[in-house]
Chains A and B, each alone.
Chain A
Amino acid sequence: MTVHRPEPDRDSREWWERVARGEFTVQRCAGCGADRFPARAFCPACRSEEWEWRAVPPEGRVESWIVSHQPFVPGLATPYVVVLVRLAAVPDGLVHGNWRGGREPRGGERVHGVFRRVDADLTLVDWGPAG
């Protein structure tokens, strides 16, 4: 499967490294305790720059999804499903991934993350029905 390789920035590099080790993390602010995703240096709630990684179960609910038919990415077989998941750990956090359900997602259904090892250097997180 052809993929655009993610280009981590200096805030997110460790997040991707942890995904590659099979760990799904969010950031917990040391100032106010708020959890956040994606990776950023500053807490948008209290503006503290102090935080720590917090491993959480990759769980959430389906916010939306698309079935992509147009070949926007050369070499990527169509159709494929991209799902938008609202994280249980960070209710304001939305994460995208491919769908591994064998059927279309359902709005609001509970889902869990599935780590997909693309190659030695890249692991992605897909989503499928919980339980």
Chain B
Amino acid sequence: MTKRLLEFRNATAIAGVGYTPFTKNSGASTLTLACRAVLAALADAGLTADDVDGLATHRVGDSAPPTLVGPALGLTDLSWHLDQFGGGSVSHAVVGQAALAVATGMAETVVCYRAINARSEFRMGGTGRGLPVSPEVQYQAPYGYVAPPQQYAMYARAHMLRYGTTAEHFGTLAVTQRANAAKNPRALMRSPITLDDYLASRWIAEPFRLLDCCLETDGACAVVVTTAERARELRRPPVLISAAAWGGGQSHLSGGDPTVTAAAGLAPRLYAQAGLGPEDVDVAEIYDCFTYSVIVQLEDYGFCPKGEGGPYVASGATALDGPLPVNTHGGFLSEGYVHGVNHIAEAVSQLRGEAGDRQVPGAEVALSTAQPGYILPATSALILRRA
């Protein structure tokens, strides 16, 4: 690792997090949601909009860009912004790029946000919106293969065929994350479920049932990125960005091994940057658009050998009292779906020791990950630690 990359380790921090409520119909524009979340994150940090010189988001043509949000908050001379095209693959890259901007001095205080009306306006499930812009869609859409639950179900089945992963493995994740959500006042779905409830839920795209799928949600979430030095002077305990990595390239739509994701290539770079390994991670907030995406990432981030993600989950390892609590907020499956940013915000809450009934005692190091590289062949991740 280069000296300059070593200097990036722990040079920047997340100093604040902010949310709007998660609902099925926000009744507000994505611009309004973005402004609310940005202001909430700044208030959490003890800052105001006047302190902001950078804004960043990711979106798929479905939300307000920084060039709208900035002026709406009276910010007419930003020194850095980023409008990243992409879905969940790039959520953590946005924060990583903000950290780069802060580390180089291009900006001092960047707010990264995602505002989404994924239930009431732009559903990801395919109905009511155009098909994604990718030349590979032409080989799939004519066969009725258009929506993320179908695509992920295809890869999940490949994993089941190759490694013997079962519905009970998927279901254990759904049950465990719901139990976490029951301890999270912000979560949309808080009623406990059993494995039988999971197995009885209706088919969406076999092998996926309803309870394998995330909640399409209206809401926004934001985090404030600044230098570690400055974060120490602010209102909240700073959470250091120990590593930020993004990359990828292997398309699963036209080749490759469907049971391995871009995370397998990224993980060694990420851990090396932080100077840590999977054994150092106290809590993991893992992109869970579907149950299977957690299982494959537990393997690709090195928490268990390839093919053993299902038994690892079934052992209780990812429960709140297990060796690796995963998605302590309930995740997309039960808290809500803000395209990756709510996973980062939950990691921050855990490292500050502010997660209430769902707090992982003594959590010092957190991993948070993006969509691992199916559909869009890229991924991103952060390792955060308590200062």
- CB neighbours (8 Å) of B135 from chain A are 9, 11-12, 38
A32 at the interface (CB under 8 A from B): no
Among B125, B139, B146, B153, the one with the most A-chain Cβ atoms within 10 Å of its Cβ is B139
Cα–Cα, bound, A98→B135 (Å): 19
Known contacts: A80-B144, A108-B161, A124-B143. The answer to whether A73 contacts B126 by CB under 8 A is: yes
- CB neighbours (8 Å) of B254 from chain A are 37-38, 93-94
A63 touches B158 (CB 8 A): yes
Q: Which residue of A lies closest to B134 (CB)?
A: A9
B138 touches A66 (CB 8 A): no
- CB neighbours (8 Å) of B258 from chain A are 63-64, 84, 94
- CB neighbours (8 Å) of B205 from chain A are 66-70
- CB neighbours (8 Å) of B137 from chain A are 7
Cα–Cα, bound, A64→B205 (Å): 13
Within A80-131, which residues are at the interface with B (CB < 8 Å)? 80, 82, 84, 90, 92-98, 107-108, 122, 124, 126
Cα–Cα, bound, A68→B137 (Å): 17
A66 touches B142 (CB 8 A): no
Give B25-59 as 1s and 0s: 1 = Cβ < 8 Å from A's Cβ atoms.
00000000000000000000000000000000000
Within B185-239, which residues are at the interface with A (CB < 8 Å)? 202-208
- CB neighbours (8 Å) of A69 from chain B are 202-206
Binding site for A on B (CB under 8 A): 125-127, 131, 135-147, 149-150, 153-155, 157-158, 161, 202-208, 252-256, 258
B131 touches A4 (CB 8 A): yes
| Contact among B125, B136, B154, B202 with A66 in the assembled complex (CB-CB below 8 Å) | B154
| Contact among B131, B142, B147, B207 with A3 in the assembled complex (CB-CB below 8 Å) | B142
How many whole Å from B73's CB to the nearest CB in chain A?
37
Cα–Cα, bound, A29→B236 (Å): 58
- CB neighbours (8 Å) of B149 from chain A are 70
How many whole Å from B183's CB to the nearest CB in chain A?
30
B142 touches A6 (CB 8 A): yes
Cα–Cα, bound, A66→B256 (Å): 19
How many whole Å from A67's CB to the nearest CB in chain B?
4
- CB neighbours (8 Å) of B253 from chain A are 94
Count of chain A residues near B, Cβ 8 A: 42
B144 touches A68 (CB 8 A): yes
| Contact among B139, B150, B206 with A95 in the assembled complex (CB-CB below 8 Å) | B139
A64 touches B157 (CB 8 A): yes
Q: 18 A–B contact pairs at CB < 8 A?
A: A38-B136, A64-B155, A66-B206, A68-B145, A68-B205, A68-B206, A69-B205, A70-B147, A72-B125, A72-B147, A72-B150, A92-B256, A93-B254, A94-B252, A96-B145, A97-B143, A124-B143, A126-B143
Known contacts: A64-B154, A66-B150, A80-B144. The answer to whether A38 contacts B126 by CB under 8 A is: no
B127 touches A74 (CB 8 A): yes
Cα–Cα, bound, A124→B325 (Å): 46
How many whole Å from A105's CB to the nearest CB in chain B?
10
- CB neighbours (8 Å) of B204 from chain A are 69-70
How many whole Å from A65's CB to the nearest CB in chain B?
6
Cα–Cα, bound, A115→B343 (Å): 45
- CB neighbours (8 Å) of B141 from chain A are 4, 6
How many whole Å from A107's CB to the nearest CB in chain B?
4
A21 at the interface (CB under 8 A from B): no
Q: Which residue of B lies closest to A8 (CB)?
A: B138
| Contact among A9, A16, A82, A122 with B145 in the assembled complex (CB-CB below 8 Å) | A82
B206 touches A67 (CB 8 A): yes
- CB neighbours (8 Å) of B155 from chain A are 64
- CB neighbours (8 Å) of B158 from chain A are 63-64, 84
A76 at the interface (CB under 8 A from B): yes
Known contacts: A67-B206, A96-B143. The answer to whether A12 contacts B157 by CB under 8 A is: no
How many whole Å from B142's CB to the nearest CB in chain A?
5
How many whole Å from B289's CB to the nearest CB in chain A?
15
How many whole Å from A36's CB to the nearest CB in chain B?
9
